[in-house]
Amino acid sequence: MGRICNKEDIAMTPTRFVSTASVLAAIWLVTGAATVCAQDSALPAGFKTQPLLKTGQTRDKQPIVYPKTDKPEMISVIGTIEPGGRTPLHEHPVPTYVYILEGEVELQSHGGQPYQYKTGEAYIEALNHQHQLFNKGNVPAKVLVVFVGEEGQPTTIAAK
């Protein structure tokens, strides 16, 4: 794999570090960027990561747009969808990273074709686009969801 980042990318100025890293650090680690940069950093021997996702777009090919705020906030949750269960119809006004921890889900997006995601797959949810996750399998599905938002602002909006 080619060299994508270097030590200067990691050693940011304090102002840039607070605004960028506080919003991006968890996604950077969760998506496996540490593996890409491991050649240039001081990671200990025996520490390995597995890249999951590297993108600048949502699953619907929209550019990812981070909130412009002095109060960034990241929220992560693990959701469990029982067999035959579903999430409510909803949308996200902020960048949302989704990783399937267990099972399989079907994403149904308003106006789009259903898409299956299984254990170990990840995607960035479309912004401001109504969708639902369904578990059509026989075992519970668990999903890790990471929201990159703003303190005091909603990460999810239910459909009306």
Which of left, alpha, beta for 20 (phi over 0: left; psi -120 to 50: alpha)? alpha
pLDDT for res 110 = 85
Closest CA to 94 of 136, 65, 59: 65
As a whole number of angstroms, the distance between CA 69 and CA 58 comes to 21
pLDDT for res 114 = 96
Q: Is the pLDDT of residue 45 over 60?
A: yes
Phi, psi of 28 (to 5 degrees): -60, -45
Q: How confident is the prediction for the chain on average, in pLDDT?
A: 81
- The domain spans of the chain are 1-51, 55-160
Burial, 129: exposed, middle or buried (Cβ in 10 Å; 0-12, 13-18, 19+)?
middle
List 74's β-bridge partners, or say none. 148
Reported as a pLDDT band with limits 50, 70 and 90, residue 41 is: low
Q: Does domain 55-160 have CATH number 2.60.120.10?
A: yes
pLDDT for res 101 = 98
List 132's β-bridge partners, or say none. 108
